Structure 1
Amino acid sequence: MHLRRLDLVGFKSFAARTSAELQRGIVVIVGPNGSGKSNISDAVLWVLGEQSAKAVRARKPEEVIFAGSATRQPLGMAEVSLVLDNADGSLPIDYEEVRVTRRLYRSGDSEYLLNGSRVRLKDIIQLLLHAGLSPDSYTVVGQSSIDELILQRPDERRVAFENVADRLNDTRSKLTSTQANLVRVQDVLAELTPHVRRLKTQADRAQRAEAFRKELHDLLIRSFRWRLAHAHTERRQAEDESARATLEAQQAEAESTTGERDLRDVDERLATLEERFSELRPRAEAFLEQVRVAERSLAVLRERLASTTEQKSGAEAELLRYHGLLERLAEEATEAARAAGQTTDGDLPDD
């Protein structure tokens, strides 16, 4: 991990937005006095969470905001962004580039951002500690600090050494306290290790149960989806059947209407026929009476015909007898005539 870029706007002498691209290795910043070289180191300290205004060469926190010049108006906000290359994963965050931003307003409000999202200063410090970054991680020697130390009187230098010794003692005390805390932490870890194992077992069971619940949830979802699809299919079939039933009902209704109309026509024709039948009934009765009379007459005629037929048979027999008699008489007459002729021929004289 390395510092890739430093963006400043409204911080001390950097009124306009300024970006400094930093390459790997040693970076040297050169420039005339008053050009803002020390302000860059102050900006790095300030964005890492430095809370002391004196550490960034200011009397009050608001003095880091651009105060204006003869050609520019004062600004109401100072912003510094530190862009870190996290390709090696030094920071436990899923970004190859991490952007840490600090803003300070003249109202005294400040905010910290991590890749554009607002976070707490504590979150940034805890994140950067994984890479060994903090306001106290590096020593920043201010301008003319070494000359000031060399030119001090012995008693003033002694005060400086005593201050360093006091800080060293404080650091040793903190180290001793930290070691004691480490021993206590180890004791606590030894005490909690069985609980951790038990909790790990419970966590594994809970994880398996969660996996089972998820699988059951997926199965239920699939089942509900299948049921829903089946219900949609049944609904469509029911709608189709309903449409067919509606069409059949309409056709039946149309046929019923046609049948009713035909029935009315038949009723009308039947009524007409009944009227006609009522009109024809007397005539039919008269015809029936005439038929009965004709039948009686026909019976009489049939009797007469039968009698006439008998008479005809007798007459025909009599006629046949007469014909036989006539034929016999004719034969007799013929024989008589022939006999008479022969007799006549015998009586004639000879010449």
Structure 2
Amino acid sequence: MQFQRLRLVGFKSFVDPAEVFIEPGLTGIVGPNGCGKSNVLESMRWVMGANSAKAMRGQGMDDVIFAGASDRPPRNHAEVQLTIDNAQRRAPQPFTDAAVIEVSRRIDRGQGSTYRINGKEVRARDVQLLFADASTGANSPALVRQGQISELIAAKPQNRRRILEEAGGVAGLHTRRHEAELRLKAAEANLERLDDIGRELETALTRLKREARQAEKYKKISAEIRALQAALLYVRWNDARLAAEGAAEELAEAERAVGEATAAAARAQTEALKAQEALKPAREEDAVAAALLHRASLERDRLDMAEQAARAEVERLKTEHARIAADAEREAAMAEDAGVQLERLTAEIDALSAEIAVAPTRGPELEAALASAEDARRAADAEVERVAGTLAAVEARANAETA
């Protein structure tokens, strides 16, 4: 492979796009100190996959981005593109068939680098292997930097061996061997890890088998429980269905009874209305009888009072007669005792005798009045009994019609 062109954009001092053509033969870069000659060599090493910030003379990989100047603002990214001539088809697979290979590396501030080969994004390892198979690379002794000649003279056997390997074209094989050893160590570590995982899985398998047996037992018991619950629910459902049917029959019977009772109540209401219409004359008769009874009661009370007055008058007359008799006896006694006054009292005795003679003549009159009062009372009692009988007959007829 032959390098053809190197393009730099924003790499260190190359803030503007710059291209360096590498023609067949010897290509040199001449300039004063500080003009950026070393930056060209570092850009080639950087695009070949250098990942050491110290090798780029910086503290971090972001230091390769143009940091700005007094009259130029800093850039946020840097990119280096290397064009390789592969006309002889010496590039390794899968780039053997490509006549031109373009390798580019772009770095964004704070985001890391991105590698591309012929526009396709690849890994940094792929770029490093590409140049290692070509007996070159970022750390190749063929890229002589400032002060490297003295380092090669005082180099350790390992560094000299690397030079011989690159000269013999086996640097790529050594790199692949190193990568294979790393992969083999990683595989051995994975195998050890797999052994640990296998033991853990065996333990977990034993535990899972035990849990599976418990789960199977649980499933059987759960199935039995579900079957028993289903049977219990069926029995309850059947009982509830029978109860619902019985309740429905009772409800229908109750509805029929309610209908019959409603019809009977309607009929009874009708009969009650008829009875009330029929009771109107009886109630009128009852009212008349009650008025007559009240009038008879008043008349009886009046007659009772008249009888009591007549009896009182008879008692008074009897008392008066007794008093007169007593007076006569007293007067007779006095007449016997006072013979002197006999003549004077004779006239008075005659007068009193006349009054006594008149008094018995009024007795039959009073007796006749008493007898008349007794007849009136007996007539009033008979009228009351007749009215009471009529009222009882009316009430009995009204009760019979209501029933």
TM-score, reference length from structure 1: 0.42
Alignment TM-score, normalising by the size of structure 2: 0.37
